[in-house]
Amino acid sequence: MLILVRHGRTALNATGRLQGRLDEPLDDLGHLQAKAVAERVGPVDDLVASPLIRAQQTADAFGVPYLVDDRWIELSYGEYEGMPVGEVPSEV
């Protein structure tokens, strides 16, 4: 079975900003979310994370070794990274 888990919250998520490939760490709530999802999912056979710190911090919560794979990196929003979602032009 394949289970996909989104990383925990970051300060940018909390303020409604696009992150894309900005390498933001988890905030305090994000660490709690990562721990909760690891407990909910339970033991895993294999674990893969993107190269971004927030994904690796989420993987760390599982307490097992994991593979960092660049193919799982988040989408790039280019010039819109860090911008509030509501300010991104609708034609994008």
Mean pLDDT by 10 residues, the chain (92 residues): 95 95 98 98 97 98 98 95 92 69
The predicted structure's pLDDT at residue 92: 61
Catalytic residue at 79?
A: no
Contact 22, 75 (CB under 8 A): no
Q: Residue holding tokens 């609708």?
A: 90
Active-site pick, 24, 31, 74, 79: 74
Catalytic residue at 7?
A: yes
The predicted structure's pLDDT at residue 34: 98
Provide the percentage of residues in the chain whose pLDDT is more than 70.
Answer: 99
CA angle 3, 30, 82 (to 5 degrees): 100
Reported pTM: 0.92
pLDDT digits (tens, 9 = 90+) for 74-83: 999 999 999 9
Domain boundaries, the chain: 47-77
The predicted structure's pLDDT at residue 36: 98
The predicted structure's pLDDT at residue 91: 77
Contact 33, 71 (CB under 8 A): no
Active-site pick, 7, 39, 81, 91: 7
